[in-house]
């Protein structure tokens, strides 16, 4: 546990927290004093390992199952969270997946699954969290905001991505979902922001880093010349959920080693 925990006593729900970026965010928030819900849809034993890691570091966590694209499961998960931790202060809308295919071969099922989980899942969880923030009211000793929502987006909310049309569409949608919610809810003191990771070394993009050739080719897209680590995102998420960023709402923080700087133009154009 950090010496001066930034999220002391706050209840945080991280969706898709049993792997990759979600796991790192859950662990980072646990280390900063939050009571963490580690949401998962499959592999309960792996979610339990994340809970165990948080507890071993002196934090508090539970694992809760829900498919974020299913309204009844989302609502049941939030109720279970309130039973355990009383309320929610921080939602991290992280759960997401890829179903890649050349455009002409993309099935409706591949399109729909990605939109359902990546975009509709963020809507359903954000709506539940917002209802609870409004019901509960301010708790000034915990936070200057009524509640905080972090949407996990991607550099592909701005970078078009051939072969991944469903995924890029979902991330572009997250941007206006986040901004429109932020505009609507700022007067109520709910802060809503996005993190847009670049290439972070996780299972979702294993093929982009697992061979030296793939990694070399990936690094041509990253001016900072290293692949990102899940902890790079965890640190930013803690800060964005804390009162240190209290005047930030409706923003996207790109955590991408410069991937969105059009590195192809550094020697051309
Ligand atoms: C994708 C990864 C990809 C990265 C950079 C992420 O949103 O999930 O597969 O490596 O963007 O292109």
Q: How many whole angstroms separate alpha carbon 11 and alpha carbon 133?
A: 12
Q: Is residue 159 domain-resident?
A: yes
Task: Measure 141 CA to ligand 1 centroid, in angstroms.
Answer: 38
> Atom 7 of ligand 1 has which residue's CA nearest to it?
154
Pocket test for ligand 1, best of 160, 199, 215, 217 (most atoms within 8 A of CB): 199
Q: Which domain holds residue 42?
A: 11-265
Indicate whether 174 belongs to any domain: yes
Domain count, the chain: 1
Residue 6 lies in a domain: no
Instruction: State the SS3 of 248-264.
Output: CCCCEEEECCCHHHCHH
Crossing angle between the packed helical segments 121-136 and 71-85, to the nearest 10 degrees: 40
Known catalytic membership, residue 167: yes
Pocket test for ligand 1, best of 172, 205, 223, 252 (most atoms within 8 A of CB): 205
pLDDT in tens, 215-228: 999 999 999 999 99
Closest residue by Cα to atom 2, ligand 1, is 205
Predicted confidence (pLDDT) per residue in 27-55, tens digit: 999 999 999 999 999 999 999 999 999 99
CATH number at residue 233: 3.40.50.720
Over residues 44-85, the pLDDT tens digits come to 999 999 999 999 999 999 999 999 999 999 999 999 999 999
Strand 90-93 and strand 60-65: pairing?
unpaired
Note whether residue 146 is domain-resident: yes
Mean pLDDT for the chain? 98
How far does residue 259's CA lie from ligand 1's centre (Å)?
Answer: 11
- Averaged pLDDT, 175-204: 98
pLDDT of residue 268: 87
Q: Is residue 5 part of a domain?
A: no
Q: Whose CA is nearest to atom 4 of ligand 1?
A: 199
Does 4 fall in a domain?
Answer: no
Q: Using the structure block, give the residue that is written with the tokens 């099935």.
A: 107
Residue 2 lies in a domain: no
CA angle 128-46-154, nearest 5°?
55
Asked if residue 1 has pLDDT above 90, the reply is no
In a domain, 67, yes or no: yes
Q: Which of 167, 224, 247, 262 is catalytic?
A: 167
Instruction: Measure 93 CA to ligand 1 centroid, in angstroms.
Output: 16
């Amino acid at each position: 546990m950090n010496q001066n925990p930034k999220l002391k006593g706050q209840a945080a729900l991280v969706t898709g927290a049993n792997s990759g970026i979600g796991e790192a965010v859950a662990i980072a928030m646990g280390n900063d004093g939050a009571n963490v819900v580690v949401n998962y849809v499959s592999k309960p034993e792996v979610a339990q390992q994340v809970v165990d890691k948080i507890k071993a570091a002196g934090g508090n966590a539970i694992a809760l199952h829900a498919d974020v694209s299913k309204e009844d499961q989302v609502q049941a998960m939030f109720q279970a969270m309130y039973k355990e931790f009383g309320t929610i202060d921080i939602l991290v809308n992280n759960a997401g997946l890829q179903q890649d295919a050349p455009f002409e071969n993309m099935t409706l099922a591949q399109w729909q699954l990605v939109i359902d989980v990546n975009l509709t899942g963020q809507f359903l969880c954000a709506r539940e969290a917002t209802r609870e923030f409004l019901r509960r009211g301010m708790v000034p000793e915990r936070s200057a905001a009524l509640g905080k929502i972090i949407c996990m987006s991607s550099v592909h909310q701005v970078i078009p991505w051939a072969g991944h049309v469903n995924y890029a569409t979902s991330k572009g949608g997250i941007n206006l979902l986040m901004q429109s919610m932020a505009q609507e809810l700022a007067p109520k003191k709910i802060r809503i922001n996005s993190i847009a990771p670049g290439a972070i070394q996780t299972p979702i993009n294993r093929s982009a880093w697992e061979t030296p050739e793939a990694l070399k080719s990936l690094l041509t897209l990253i001016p900072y010349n290293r692949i990102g680590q899940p902890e790079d995102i965890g640190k930013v998420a803690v800060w964005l959920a804390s009162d240190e960023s209290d005047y930030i709402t409706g923003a996207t923080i790109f955590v991408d080693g410069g991937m969105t700087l059009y590195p192809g133009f550094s020697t051309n154009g």
